[in-house]
Amino acid sequence: MRLAITCGALSGFIAVILSAWAAHGLGDIVSAEDLERIKIGTELQLWHALALLAVGALAATRPARMFDYTAWAFVVGTIGFSGTLYLQAFTGSATLSFLTPMGGVALMAGWLLLAWYGVQQRR
């Protein structure tokens, strides 16, 4: 629960800062293509920050190991997906770009884990 809430809040904070920077001046520093990478990264990061907060709230009321797995999938996925997009946008290096789709898979896995938890619940 603590991991999900802490990482969700920090991730949301970072996403808002980068999004605001992208809207107010970052276009003077990076190319339009890199600005689009940052936009995609911040959108996915912000959605998954909210998802982490929801997982933390669920875990507080109904503790389950599945929430730990879900939170880790969202954290690893956000770093892998959004982090590599930011890295490429700011450095021009595509060295770690192979991690971007892996991050996306981790994000999808988090959603599937959450769905699996829902399926397992009694009515």
Q: What is the spatial distance between Cα 88 and Cα 82, in angstroms, rounded to a whole number?
A: 10
Q: What is the spatial distance between Cα 79 and Cα 92, in angstroms, rounded to a whole number?
A: 18
5-42, pLDDT tens digit by residue? 999 999 999 999 999 999 898 878 889 999 999 999 99
58-115, pLDDT tens digit by residue? 999 998 899 999 999 999 999 999 999 999 999 999 899 999 999 999 999 999 999 9
Single-letter residue type at 110: G
Q: In terms of Cα–Cα distance, which of 46, 36, 120, 50 is closest to 85? A: 36
Tell me the whole-structure pTM to 2 decimals. Answer: 0.93
The domain locations on the chain are 2-120
